[in-house]
Amino acid sequence: MGQDEYRLRALSDERLLSGLSRVVKQRNQVTAEFLAYLAEFDERRLYLDLGFASLFEYCVQALRLCESTAGRHIAAARVCRAHPQVFGWVASGELHASALSLLRKYLTPENAAELFERCRKQSARQVEELLAARFPRPDVRDLVRRLPAQAGVTLDVGRSFEHDDGHLPEKGEAPQCAQAAKEANQAPSILRTDTPASTDERSIAARAAEPAKPRRMEPLSADRYGVHFTADGEFCQLLDRVRGLAGHRLPSGDLMTLLKRGLEAYERELEKERFAVGRKLHRSSTTEVASIARSKATSTGSTSAEPTANEVRRHDPKRHPMTSARSKRTWHCPAAVAREVFVRDGGQCSFMAADGRQCSSRRWLELDHIVPRANGGEDSVSNLRLRCRAHNQHYARQCFGAAHVQAAVQDARARRSLEAAAGE
């Protein structure tokens, strides 16, 4: 099989899409067949004859699967072996190995049919939430503790706060966050390897070297999640100060409430800064849109003026990087317009696919001109929309070409590098 088989640039969009759909169907069928082989291999325990203590060891060492893939597919294979009808759903793509591995410990002869039906055509995240609603787990505890050999603090957000020694604080007793922060800051950041380490030390070092799991919110029930992250000493001291200031309003010092209030305040600050939501507008700001339109109509004699030379230069891919940077920074959307567009589009990307699916991204939101400013587009509510950065750049590529967008991205990076160097 030559390398040219994997070069697909010559394919049209339609052939690429149909080919991808075909390969995914084949992959689902291969996955079902793989699970069937794995289930029978496990039933016969052939891995023992081959010198492996477990099926997991065989998958990782002999089949060269990564640990997470091996564990997920072994669990899925055992579900399929107990419920053979699942093979067909895997082959059709209605159930995947991740969902089956999550279902395994909850399945009983009485609920299997119902759980399979509810989890079909669901993502792994949706299956987690369905299972958490059906089989709720207790809240995680509030815990601030020192991490071994790392200057960080693990924070679990739940209902109750516990000290490092595990006891609940008495009424009026201050949580020992500051002490935990002090210890965290004193914790060594590098593990010494020049002296013999005990078994416990080696296991701690191995755990510390493990990459962090990407999942940060773990569904516990229908409307409760476990949140886990690592904080530094500065965060812990800030938490202590805020908890103290909020003591008259929140005597329990509940972490979830404190963090929720902080995030709400930060959300309001960002919405005000980015899209003028909640900002008190001066009269000059509220009439800015009309004045821009009037001045443009007066100077051109028309409400749809041709692009100015400066606007053309702004979108010229051959422009000088610093000239582009200055031009981009001079554009300012009236606050009243930005706020109305943000509220109208619901604070999320407004891109709509051909099948009616709307992009759900709320990150890196930008104001995008439907008719580009280089083509005479106005800074009006009707000509602006919220787009995530990816869809904003996607539209720009359609209007001006990929080379132009790439040049603009490089210009922005060069400007940020120069500004960072100047700041130093």
pLDDT tier at 188, thresholds 50, 70, 90: very low
| Residue where a domain terminates, one of 222, 253, 275 | 275
Do 365 and 387 meet the contact criterion of CB atoms below 8 Å apart? yes
From 9-23, 29-43, 396-410, the region with the lowest mean pLDDT: 396-410
What would the two tokens of residue 178 be? 């500051």
Domain residues for 114?
20-134
Question: Quick one: pLDDT at residue 241?
Answer: 84
Instruction: Tell me: pLDDT of 102 over 90.
Output: yes
Q: Are residues 150 and 222 in the same domain?
A: yes
Q: Are residues 175 and 237 in the same domain?
A: yes
Does an H or E element contain 369, and which? Answer: strand 365-369
Q: How far apart are CA 411 and CA 345, in angstroms?
A: 29
Q: Are residues 159 and 179 in the same domain?
A: yes
Cα 45 from chain centroid (whole Å):
40
Instruction: Tell me: pLDDT of 201 over 80.
Output: no
pLDDT tier at 172, thresholds 50, 70, 90: very low
Q: How far apart are CA 43 and CA 321, in angstroms?
A: 65
What would the two tokens of residue 252 be? 């329990």
Helices H, strands E: what count in the chain? 19, 7
Question: Residue 235 carries which DSSP code?
Answer: H
Question: What residues have CB less than 8 Å from 327, skipping those under 6 apart?
Answer: 310, 313, 314, 319
Question: What residues have CB less than 8 Å from 124, skipping those under 6 apart?
Answer: 96, 98, 99, 102
What would the two tokens of residue 176 be? 């020992």
Give the residue with greater pLDDT, 334 vs 65.
65
Q: Are residues 44 and 91 in the same domain?
A: yes
- Paired strand residues for 53: none
Q: Is the dihedral of CA 398, 401, 404, 410 positive or negative?
A: positive
Residues 112-155: tens digit of each pLDDT: 999 999 999 999 989 999 999 999 988 777 766 666 655 455 56
What would the two tokens of residue 339 be? 């706020």
Strands (E), 158-289: 161-162, 217-221, 224-231
Closest-CA residue to 372 (of 388, 349, 393): 393
Q: How far apart are CA 159 and CA 221, in angstroms?
A: 14
Q: Are residues 249 and 152 in the same domain?
A: yes
Do 132 and 221 meet the contact criterion of CB atoms below 8 Å apart? yes
Establish if 300 belongs to a structural domain. Answer: yes
Q: CA torsion, points 280, 282, 286, 291, in degrees to nearest 10?
A: -160
Q: Are residues 237 and 322 in the same domain?
A: no
Residues 264-278: tens digit of each pLDDT: 888 888 888 888 887
Establish if 1 belongs to a structural domain. Answer: no
Question: Residue 358 carries which DSSP code?
Answer: B
**Could you tell me the CA-to-CA distances from 59 to 43, 48, 77, 208 in Å, in that order?**
15, 12, 13, 25
Range 197-217 average pLDDT: 47
Q: Are residues 39 and 158 in the same domain?
A: no
Residues 324-358: tens digit of each pLDDT: 433 444 567 888 899 999 999 999 999 988 888 88
Give the residue with greater pLDDT, 297 vs 412.
412
From 175-179, 260-264, 310-314, the region with the lowest mean pLDDT: 310-314
Tell me how many domains the chain contains.
3
Instruction: Tell me: pLDDT of 156 over 70.
Output: no
Residues 381-396: tens digit of each pLDDT: 999 999 998 899 889 9
Question: Quick one: pLDDT at residue 49?
Answer: 87
From 50-59, 233-242, 281-290, 402-411, the region with the lowest mean pLDDT: 281-290
What would the two tokens of residue 199 be? 């078994």
Closest-CA residue to 272 (of 342, 204, 218): 342
Establish if 62 belongs to a structural domain. Answer: yes
Q: Are residues 244 and 358 in the same domain?
A: no
| Residue where a domain terminates, one of 116, 134, 152 | 134
Instruction: Tell me: pLDDT of 170 over 50.
Output: no
Instruction: Tell me: pLDDT of 181 over 70.
Output: no
| Residue where a domain terminates, one of 94, 117, 134 | 134
Instruction: Tell me: pLDDT of 173 over 50.
Output: no
